[in-house]
Amino acid sequence: MNQLPTLLVTGASGHLGRRVVELLLQKKTAKVVAVTRHPEKLKDIRDPLLTVKHGNFDVPDALVEAFRGADRLLLVSTDALGRRAQQHREAIDAANVAGVQHLVYLSLASADRTVVALSEEHDQTEKLIHASPLSYTILRNHFYADNLLMTLPPGLARGKIYSTTGTMGAAFVTREDCARVAAAVLASRERGKKTFEVTGPKAVTYPEIARFLTQYFKRPIDFDEVGMVELKQTLNRDGFPSGLADILVSCDLAIGRGEFNATTSVVKDWTGTMPMNVAEFLARNLKL
C-alpha cells in the first residue's frame, strides 16, 4: 500500500470534488486525500484508502500541511466569486511548497478570451499556474449541462424559452463527465504543461433544446430569440438575482459569439467513453 501514489482533491465536499473522490476510490490504484472545509460531509464514505483533511483557501497558513505528502493535486475552482484568484493563488503556492509533483486545475472554456462574466478569475489562475514551477494540466470545462436544470424550468412552465444565442450552439458537458476526466487525469502519470478543453459530444442550440423538450414532454415549448436587455428582464422575472442574471446573459452572449461551439475528443480520450449528450442528460434529470 505504501507504494501507491497519493492523489489529493480540494473542495472535496462540493458536487464535483466529491464525485472525483468517489471515482478515484473505485479505481483502488491510489491513496486519496480529500481536503475540504467540511470534513463531516464526507463521513459516509468509508474506505481505507481515504484520508479526509480540513483545508480552506482563506486560511492559507494551514494549507501546506494539508497538502504535504500529495503526489498529484486537483484544485477545484471555488465558488467565491471575486475572491477566487487570491484563493487559488494560495492553493498553488501551497502545492508548490508542499512538493506536489503535478497540479490539475478546473478552469472554464476559452478562459483567456471569453466574454463570460466570471472568466477573468480563471484566466488569472491559469496565468499563475503558467508562472509557477509546477507541472500541470488545466481542464477547461465547457458549460455544465447541469446548469440547464436551473435555467430551463421557468421556460418549461411557461411553454417558451428565450436566448440571445442566434444560430450558435454550446457543447454542454455533464458535470459527471468533467469529474470522470478530472479523476482520469489525476490518476494518470501525465506530466508537463497542457491545457485541454472538455466538451460534450456536439454543440446544441436553444431552438434544438426547445424541439427536444416539446417531443419529450409532449407539449409545445416554443423558442424566442431576444436581445440582452429582454433576456435579463425575463431572468429577473423568473426569480434569478441580478448578479446571476448578468452572468447568465454573458454566457448567452459568449455562445452567440461561437465561443462554446467547438467540440473536442477529450472526454473520450481520457475516459474511453463518449460524453453524454444534452438530450439524454435532460431526459434523465429534468422533471416537469
Ligand X SMILES: NC(=O)c1ccc[n+]([C@@H]2O[C@H](COP(=O)([O-])OP(=O)(O)OC[C@H]3O[C@@H](n4cnc5c(N)ncnc54)[C@H](OP(=O)(O)O)[C@@H]3O)[C@@H](O)[C@H]2O)c1
Residue 165 C-beta: closest distance to ligand X, Å = 15
Instruction: Report the residue number, 178 or 213, with the smaller CB distance to ligand X.
Output: 178
Asked if 206 and 234 count as a contact pair (C-beta separation under 8 A), the reply is no
Cell of 226: 431576444
CB of 177 to ligand X, least distance (A): 11
CA distance 91 to 37: 14
Of 85 and 228, the one with the shorter C-beta distance to ligand X is 85
Instruction: Pick between residue 4 and residue 59 the one whose CB is nearest to ligand X.
Output: 59
Output the smallest distance, CB 59 to ligand X, in A: 8
Taking the least distance from each CB to ligand X, the nearer of 195 and 214 is 195
Partners of residue 57 on adjacent β-strands: none
In this structure, what is the dihedral angle of CA atoms 264, 267, 272, 273, given to the nearest 10 degrees? -90
3-state helix vs strand vs coil in the chain, percent to 5: 45, 20, 40
- Binding residues for ligand X, rule: CB under 6 A, are 10-17, 36-38, 56-58, 76-80, 87, 106, 108, 141, 143-144, 147, 175
Smallest separation (angstroms) from ligand X to the CB of 193:
22
Contact 145, 174 (CB under 8 A): yes
